[in-house]
Every structure is written in C-alpha cells, then in structure tokens.
Amino acid sequence: MRANDGTRTAGEVLIDQLVIHGVRHVFCVPGESYIAALDAFHDRDIAITVCRHESGAAIMAEACGKETGRPGICFVTRGPGATNAAAGLHIAQQDSTPLILFVGQVAREMREREAFQELDYRAVFGSIAKWATEIDDSARIPELVSRAFHAATGGRPGPVVMALPEDMLVERIAVPDAPAFEPVETWPGATDMSRLQKLLWAAERPVVLLGGSRWSQAATAAVARFAERFALPVATTFRRAHLFDPDHRCYAGDLGIGPNPKLLARIKAADVILLVGGRLGEQPSQGYTLLDIPAPRQTFVHVYPGVEELGRVYRARLAINASPTAFAAALEGIEPPPGEAGWRNETALAHAEFLAWTDKPTAVPGAVNLGEIIVGLRDQIPADAVICNGAGNFSVWVHRYARYRRYGSELAPISGSMGYGVPAAIGIKRLAPERMVIAFAGDGDFLMTGQEFATAVQYKLPVIIVVVDNGMYGTIRMHQERHYPGRVVATDLKNPDFAAYARAFGGHGATVERTADFFPAFEAARKSGLPAILHVKVDPEALTPAMSLSAIREKAQAARERV
Ligand SMILES: Cc1ncc(C[n+]2csc(CCOP(=O)(O)OP(=O)(O)O)c2C)c(N)n1
Ligand SMILES: [Mg+2]
C-alpha cells in the first residue's frame, strides 16, 4: 500500500518514473534483490511479463525497443540473473536498440565483500552498455532514470544497465518526479542538404543504402518519396529489409548473408553512395570488402545519428550527423536534377534484378523446400505481420524470400544471436496482440530460448513458431565442410519431437514433412488461437539455397586435391 504522507519508497519512485516516461510493458524474471521495486508495480498501469530465463526477458524487451524506438525495459536479479540477461544487452548494443536493464544489487553496506551474487555492474557491463551505473542515493532516482532514457535513445541508441541496491529500494523519500523524456533528434544543417543535392546532381550511378535504427513509419515513407522523386535505387543492409517497401519500383534488395551478386556489383560500380542510418559493418559490407577503408572510391555520403561513428571506419566525402527520422524529413527540401534522371533505367533494372533473385526459390534436395514455404506465405499473411528469426542457415531463406512490407515487420538480430526469434515474437505479440507474429527458428536456434514458449502459453499469445529441423547446427557444419571437409565435430543434433513439446506446454503443435503440407498446417495453427509450433523437417542436404551439403564438401575436397 502506498502512503499518503507525501513520501514514497525508492521502489515506488522508480516505477513512477517509468510510468512518466511512457513505459507500458516490462519483462522480468523475479529476484529477492528487487522485490521492493516489483511491489511498486502492484497498483500501477504497466503490464509485466514474467519469463522463464533472463535472456528471454532481455530479448523480449530488446524487440520492443527495436519496434518502438523507445527503451525496452527489463528487470532481473543480481549475479546470475544479470549474466543471463547479457545476451539481450549484446544484441541491443550491436543492433543499436534502446534498452534499459534494471538489476537487483546487494545491500550497500555489504558491497565489496563479494556478498551473495554480488557483481560490479559498471565493470561487468561497462563495455557492452552505453552506460552502466548503480543508484546509491535514492533521492537521485528521478535524475538518473531520466538520464538512462536519454542515454539509451540519444545518438546511436543502445543498452543502459542500472543496478539497484536492495536496501536503497526500501528507503522512504519525498522527491519530485522528473518530466517525461523525449528522444533528442539531430537535424542535418541546410549546408549539409545543399551539398548532398549538389553531389546527387553530379552523379551518374548513385545508390542509396538504408540501415540502423532510429527510423519510423513516417521516415521510411519520406525516404520512399525521395527515392521516387529522384528515381534512385535503394538497398537495405543486413536484417533491415523492412526499411523499404519490397514492391516499390526503386527497391534493389538487401545486403544480407549470401546477397544477390548483381546488387554487390551495382554498389561497387556506383559513383555516389548515400548510406543512411547504418554503420555498414562486417555483414552488409561482406567482410569489409564492399567499400575501400578508410577512403571509399565512390563519393560516400554517410548519415548517422551518433557522431562517433562518422569517420570511424569509412572516411565520408560528406558526413552528416543526423538521426534518420530528422534526415528523412529534411529530404523533402532537396530537388532532383532537372530533366529525366540519367540513372532511371538502372533503377528499373536494379528492381528487376531483385525480383529475379527473390521471386522463385531455388531447388533444394528433399521433400521440403523452405524457400517455397516462405514464398507461399507472402500472400497469406497481412502486410503488418511481424516476421522474427534468430541465427542459422535457415534464416538465409527467410531473408531472401520473405517480403517485409511495412516498417517494423522484421525482427532479427543484427548481432547474429541464436535464440532471438522466439522471445522477440513473444515480446512483440505482448505489445501488439492484434498483429500476426511468426518466428522462424532453427533446431539449434529454437532450443536456446524455446522454454519461453511457456510464457506465450501463460499470456495467451498465439505466435506461430516454425522450427526448421535439419538435425544439426547447420551453419557451423557448412563452415566445417568448407574448411575441414568430411570431418564432422560437434555439429550433429538429436532433436525432440517439437510438435509434442508444443502440446506439452499447452500449445498447438504439428509436424510438416512435405512443402505442400505446410500451408494447411499453418492455417490450422492460426485457427487454433494457441501459441503454435510447426516442426518442419528438412533434408540435411538442403544446407543453403545455393549448394547442398555434399556439393560444399566435394568442392572443398577438390580444392584440397588441387593444392
Ligand atoms: C548464441 C549463439 N551461439 C552460437 C552461435 C554460432 N552459430 C551460428 S549459426 C549456428 C548454428 C545454427 O543452427 P540451427 O539453429 O540449427 O540453424 P541451421 O544453421 O541448422 O539452419 C551456430 C552454432 C551464434 N550465432 N549465437
Ligand atoms: Mg539446424
């Protein structure tokens, strides 16, 4: 019960700050270290999702941060709770997602003795988080929590860790609340925009690349209008395909794993590259081979919300420190070159090449073709359906063949973290129960966080999880076959019956062994109204859309014999 003498416990002050900053959902695994904060949720209008593992809770919060651009909120206990949650922190860091992780901490008078589950959070998370701190003085909660929201969202977004000593949370204090935070926009200057216009007017083969976070529905729509007015080809970076409508005549495809070689050639041959919001890290740059470092041959324009990234790897001809949302709005103010753009036909060709690369799945060994399943789903799911996945070779099919039709329809780890898809799907379904949410998971990938299926059942969240079972950690087997052909070590998996697993948790489960059986199974899963798992058994030979397992092995063996 809250007192009416003008005082609040520190736990109550903390939760009140969350309400003020607009938090509607938090994800947690409880711990005795922060029950005073948990208690303060009791009469506040914030939905709590209690999870089965802190990595699941942190990923759910990260997915909400990714989707909304406002910090996802996760509460975990000290020591083991915090280290379990590290998976989500690392994703938030690499994916540039705003996230605040609140961690219980030992009482202040016990610190530095290595008390039960004690950790030094500033030291442990100092290099993962944008800011890791501990609240010593309960009176400063409004100030420090306000700072956490600004730090998580400002510039390049990322994770913040706040440790909460147990005794601090029960102190009774009288302090005023902080005002509600708003993410700080960084606007491009008028000179930046006129220099950009000049560079585009002088271009012959320009390309636009979109990536990173700090986008919105309005910003992606503004970029689409800009692309139309200038007839520019637009590509997206690794796992950011939802930033541009795939049906738009300017869309040239995405720079994922195993991308369209024609898209790579197009970017290499471009004379002006405008990169908005992304870092062009190892994956989209194809191992830092796409552009010369530090000085790309092309006229390189880099628009990024965090100033520390500009000039870090690539020396831009024009570096613009702006958030994508602000930059996209400013694009309305620049004009295309007079007359017909010389590159208009190239843009049409780029889109045709994207369609040719993605329209028809390649043939693969076995009775199930994952590409055909994903192509078949395109017209069966609503445009605002969210498609989630973790890491593994199965995701290469997902990214190549899925159509992400709306901003926010793709939730996938830029960090390549296995186990992402299931909690991401549950987190987003909790936030937006009206949207269809699908997760693709590998057999290895799924069991890293598959226990959160219980969370989906507990909160009646009918997500549909497609487990692509090839009986192995296929990605690693692929690398093994390439480098050590025929020498299989630690990549085989003996799997459970995933459909029975779903039913044991109280969900819907079905097994699919032929492509054509997938679609009625999907429909039945949807109609069940329950969280569902479709256990799709694929041939282990179907290792990539381009090459079978045996072909990869034979190619590596032949290369060995030649040397
Ligand atoms: C948390 C984590 N651990 C390990 C890896 C290394 N890794 C990348 S893909 C992969 C195998 C994925 O197997 P599975 O989910 O079955 O998908 P498949 O490649 O077989 O389609 C592994 C172990 C990783 N990316 N993330
Ligand atoms: Mg597998």
Contacts of 179 (CB under 8 A, 6+ apart): 20, 146
Q: State CA 379 to chain mean position distance.
A: 24
Task: Give me ligand 1 centre to Cα 100, in Å.
Answer: 26
User: Ligand 1: does its nearest atom lie under 6 Å from the Cβ of 393?
Assistant: yes
pLDDT number for residue 199? 98
pLDDT number for residue 284? 97
pLDDT number for residue 1? 66
User: Ligand 1: does its nearest atom lie under 6 Å from the Cβ of 413?
Assistant: no
The DSSP result for 487-513, as a single string, is ---S-B-----HHHHHHHTTSEEEEE-
CA distance 402 to 422: 17
Mutate to test the pocket of ligand 1, among 393, 420, 535 (most ligand atoms within 8 A of CB): 393
CA distance 211 to 484: 35
Span 76-128, pLDDT tens digits = 999 999 999 999 999 999 999 999 999 999 999 999 999 999 999 999 999 99
pLDDT means per 10 residues, the chain with 563 residues, are 89 98 98 97 96 98 98 98 98 98 97 96 98 98 98 98 98 98 96 98 97 98 98 98 98 96 98 98 97 98 98 98 98 94 95 97 98 97 98 98 98 98 98 98 98 99 99 98 97 98 98 98 98 98 97 96 84
Nearest CA owner, ligand 1 atom 2: 418
User: Ligand 1: does its nearest atom lie under 6 Å from the Cβ of 418?
Assistant: yes
- Cα angle at 88 between 235 and 490, to 5 degrees? 90
CB 173 within 8 A of CB 7: yes
CA dist 457 → 52, 62, 435, 495, 530 (Å): 12, 20, 17, 22, 7
Q: Any idea which ligand is nearest the CA of 474? A: 1
Task: Give me ligand 2 centre to Cα 470, in Å.
Answer: 5
The DSSP result for 194-234, as a single string, is HHHHHHHHT-SSEEEEE-SS---HHHHHHHHHHHHHHT--E
Mutate to test the pocket of ligand 1, among 418, 469, 498 (most ligand atoms within 8 A of CB): 418
Task: Give me ligand 1 centre to Cα 493, in Å.
Answer: 12
pLDDT number for residue 102? 98
Position 201: which residue type? W
Taking the chain, what is the end-to-end CA distance rounded to the nearest angstrom?
Answer: 77
Q: Helix, strand, coil shares of the chain as percentages rounded to 5? A: 40, 15, 40
CB 440 within 8 A of CB 466: yes
